[in-house]
Amino acid sequence: MLKNTFSAILIIGLVMVGSSAIMAKGDDISNKVEDLISRMTLEEKVGQLQQYSTRWEMTGPVPDGKVAQEMHKNIKDGLAGSMLNIAGAEATRKAQEMAVNNSRLGIPMIFGYDVVHGYKTIFPIPLAAAASWDVEAVKTSARVAAKEAAADGLHWTFAPMVDISRDARWGRVMEGAGEDPYLGSVMAKAQVEGFQGGDLTDETTIAACAKHFAAYGFVEGGRDYNIADIGESTLRNVVLPPCKACSDAGVATFMNSFNEVDGIPATGNAHLLRDILKGEWGFDGFVVSDWASIDEMRFHGVAANKSEAALLAITAGSDMDMEGHCYFPNLIGMVEKGEVDEALIDDAVRRILTIKFRLGLFDDPYRYCNQNVEEVFLSAEHLEKARDVARKSIVLLKNENQLLPLSKENKKIAVIGDLADDKDTPLGNWRGRGGRNMAVSLLEGLQNAVENKSLVTFEQGPVFAENLPQFGTLVQINETDRTGLTEAVEAAKDADVVVLALGENCFQSGEARSQSEIGLKGLQQELLEAVCAVNKNVVVVLMNGRPMAISWMAEHVSAIVESWHLGSEAGNAIADVLFGDYNPSGKLPMSFPRTVGQCPIYYNHKNTGRPAENEEDYMFTTRYVDEKVSPLFSFGYGLSYTTFDYSGLELSNRDITKGDTLKVAVNLKNTGEMDGTEVVQLYIRDLVGSVTRPVKELKNFKKVFLKSGETKKIEFELTVEDLTFYSKKGVWEAEPGEFHLWVGTNSSEGLQSQFYLK
């Protein structure tokens, strides 16, 4: 019955697209794959579509003992294609031996793991790394993570997460690159290149997985696992570009998402998976479901049982079942009864085997279990790279009266706050196999940096949160115990400058960590106000996995340093910035709201029929009556210890036509005392379109280093291709008309010009 709802044409089409895309590679992998498929039984084929988790580190319902027994039997019988959450050269070797030595065809398994921002050496969370606007830095993070993961027997990471997110309430914003499709695409590509390198058979590279396909970042109300209710224009123009960038960069796999998109769960969404991903983009890797997302289609209410869920998912193009236990064994019987076309199974198996061949697993199934991890894990080189990426990820939000950088001599620095000596929080959520309490804390970083250690004192203040919450439990935040508050205030009184650590525990953001309030929690606001009452020189170091609503802080403290969750070397990197050994250059990849009620808030919004031009505007415009419409800190914002002046914006032409390249030039001068790096940002606005267009869109950026007093001419090239969008006709095209263009230091400031596309 369900089967009839999918057209035979689609099925024939998809098999052709799938196989022809692979065959077109012209290598002998496709011949080997076809040969293997021809020797596989139906049961073995369906077994390849099954992915099992080990029984630890899980993010969904735990399989019971029966499932574990079934898993072992199936691995031996060659009926398991993959495992996740298994790691370690020894463990992976054992599991691989189980599959290869016992099964009829000896097909190796592929081992996946969430290697999101480091494996042992932990790098900044992806949102932070995106704040570096530094492609090489982001690539390096992924490269090092891949080296360490591969040395530990892993073949495949479930990263990058490329979900565009506009709502800071969503806990998973920490895993992505923020709100902008252009920056998101650049960062997505850099991560794929970093993880995969140029050659998947290289023992130091791993297959990447672009996730979540699609629109998971648009969960309603920022509530995890909720529905996403967006139309085709937002899907194509905002959500999909980073996914497309991954596909173009040759990402090996995609993961679908938990959410529905306009009534159809992404896992069973043929439009997303068949039409767009595998059809229009010609993606020839495989799609893994998210954890149990095939089975969850029963709860979405589109499948009555596991078999119906399996049919929906396989038909739509989900190739591997992660812990849903729907495909195996249900699809076997369904093919036998004629309810599922075997060509669908072959298509999925073909894709999975192809990636296994590309990884070289058929040449040596143990190739990733042979390295000396001691030489690779947490090496001095990796830690140095982690420190470098970390300091590039820091964003200076405020610096009144040049309180920063701090002097390393003769000034008494009171370091205050529970997070300041927390060695775990900087590692962030999704920290691979980074051990607990392994980060350099802020306090340690500051002490490492000064010769006279007695200048840096520490008061914890009230406990903020339980330091090490158990996996899968909520962070317990202290709301009542004020022990330590008086001592903290005394220390603040006595100091020349206070460095106050505030923000979020590492497990306040991440999966299943959505929040309805995103301000300071617990007793942090009270501590902040008490400290500010006795000392005017307060530097807040924020540690957090999402934009926070910090209006009071922004008004009352002299300096705010956004340090996110920066990884293993956090404290050293923050000290580099606080003492001016590194001049901060990060820029926000996500807008900071004034209050949570402004969420979702993003710079590239639409104009609407009643735009609110300014905060005091006419009442019947798109504004709040009790709050401004602008963010507290906008996308692209971030200060430096020096100042930059933009002048002389020039366009090579006022009119351009198809095939032309518009040259844009601006003079950038470092007008301050220190050498520094600026991220020069280019935005456009397409004034009239067949569908409404954003008020601004980032189209390019350049990171430029200038010595104090130096001027450079910064040049960009804009092609007509850069002006294209998914139009009313349902195609990517640039429409003629007037465009505005800005070049500047963030999304709300810049020199402006205009041009016409004829």
Q: Residues 511, 224: contact at Cβ < 8 Å?
A: yes
Spell out a b/e string for 415-449, using b for 16 or more CB atoms within 10 Å of the CB, else e: bbbbbbebbbbbbbbbbbbbeeebbbbbbbbbbeb
Residue closer to ligand BGC, measured from CB, 289 or 591: 289
615-616-619-622 Cα dihedral, nearest 10 degrees? -10
Does residue 509 belong to the site contacting ligand BGC (CB under 6 A)?
Answer: no
Does residue 59 belong to the site contacting ligand BGC (CB under 6 A)?
Answer: yes
User: d(Cα 692, Cα 412) in Å, to the nearest integer?
Assistant: 55
Q: Residues 60, 91: contact at Cβ < 8 Å?
A: no
Quote the least distance from Cβ 84 to ligand BGC, whole Å.
6
Residue closer to ligand BGC, measured from CB, 60 or 519: 60
Q: Is 571 left (phi over 0), alpha (psi -120 to 50) or beta?
A: alpha
Quote the least distance from Cβ 114 to ligand BGC, whole Å.
5
User: d(Cα 360, Cα 342) in Å, to the nearest integer?
Assistant: 27
Nearest-5° angle of CA 235, CA 238, CA 244? 80
User: d(Cα 30, Cα 45) in Å, to the nearest integer?
Assistant: 16
169's enclosing H/E stretch is none
Residue closer to ligand BGC, measured from CB, 84 or 548: 84
Quote the least distance from Cβ 70 to ligand BGC, whole Å.
20
Residue closer to ligand BGC, measured from CB, 509 or 585: 509
User: d(Cα 744, Cα 722) in Å, to the nearest integer?
Assistant: 18
Q: Which of 211, 367, 392, 623 binds ligand BGC (CB under 6 A)?
A: 211
- Looking at residue 456, the DSSP 8-state letter turns out to be E
Residue closer to ligand BGC, measured from CB, 211 or 423: 211
Q: Which of 148, 167, 284, 290 binds ligand BGC (CB under 6 A)?
A: 290
Q: Which tokens is 305 given?
A: 């049982």
Quote the least distance from Cβ 475 to ligand BGC, whole Å.
18
SS3 of residue 371 by DSSP:
coil
Q: Is the peptide bond before 426 cis (omega within 30 degrees of 0)?
A: no
- In 3D space, the residue among 463, 413, 466, 411 whose CA is nearest the CA of residue 443 turns out to be 413
Residue closer to ligand BGC, measured from CB, 142 or 596: 142
741-745-747-752 Cα dihedral, nearest 10 degrees? -20
Quote the least distance from Cβ 436 to ligand BGC, whole Å.
19
User: d(Cα 217, Cα 166) in Å, to the nearest integer?
Assistant: 7
| Residues annotated as catalytic (active site), given as ranges | 290
Quote the least distance from Cβ 577 to ligand BGC, whole Å.
31
- In 3D space, the residue among 245, 191, 169, 249 whose CA is nearest the CA of residue 213 turns out to be 245
- In 3D space, the residue among 207, 212, 211, 96 whose CA is nearest the CA of residue 145 turns out to be 207
For tokens 């929690």, the residue is: 521
Q: Which tokens is 79 given?
A: 């009926």
Q: Residues 295, 30: contact at Cβ < 8 Å?
A: no
345's enclosing H/E stretch is helix 342-358
What number of chain residues touch ligand BGC (CB under 6 A)?
9
How many CA atoms lie less than 13 Å away from 59 in the CB half-sphere?
Answer: 18
Q: Whats the size of the chain, residue-wise?
A: 758
Quote the least distance from Cβ 211 to ligand BGC, whole Å.
5
Q: What x-and-dash track marks residues 675-714 binding ligand BGC by CB under 6 A?
A: ----------------------------------------
Strand 156-157's sheet: what is its strand order? Answer: 156-157, 110-113, 82-84, 50-53, 321-322
Q: Which tokens is 286 given?
A: 């495989």
User: d(Cα 130, Cα 754) in Å, to the nearest integer?
Assistant: 29
Residue closer to ligand BGC, measured from CB, 292 or 394: 292
Quote the least distance from Cβ 299 to ligand BGC, whole Å.
15
User: d(Cα 212, Cα 233) in Å, to the nearest integer?
Assistant: 18
Residue closer to ligand BGC, measured from CB, 290 or 576: 290
Nearest-5° angle of CA 206, CA 379, CA 125? 60
Q: What x-and-dash track marks residues 68-97 binding ligand BGC by CB under 6 A?
A: ----------------x-------------
Quote the least distance from Cβ 297 to ligand BGC, whole Å.
15
Q: What x-and-dash track marks residues 151-190 binding ligand BGC by CB under 6 A?
A: -------x--------------------------------
Beta bridge partners of 718: 662
Does residue 511 belong to the site contacting ligand BGC (CB under 6 A)?
Answer: yes
753's enclosing H/E stretch is strand 749-757
Quote the least distance from Cβ 86 to ligand BGC, whole Å.
12
Residue closer to ligand BGC, measured from CB, 309 or 668: 309
Quote the least distance from Cβ 634 to ligand BGC, whole Å.
29
User: d(Cα 418, Cα 506) in Å, to the nearest integer?
Assistant: 13
Beta bridge partners of 666: 714
- In 3D space, the residue among 584, 541, 538, 542 whose CA is nearest the CA of residue 558 turns out to be 538
**Rule CB under 6 A: which of 109-128 touch ligand BGC?**
114
Quote the least distance from Cβ 714 to ligand BGC, whole Å.
38
Residue closer to ligand BGC, measured from CB, 216 or 701: 216
Quote the least distance from Cβ 292 to ligand BGC, whole Å.
8
Q: Residues 757, 653: contact at Cβ < 8 Å?
A: no
Residue 695, CA distances (Å) to 153, 625, 680, 688, 689 in order = 47, 22, 19, 11, 12
Q: Residues 174, 429: contact at Cβ < 8 Å?
A: yes
Q: Give me the residues that bind ligand BGC (CB under 6 A), please.
A: 59-60, 84, 114, 158, 211, 290-291, 511
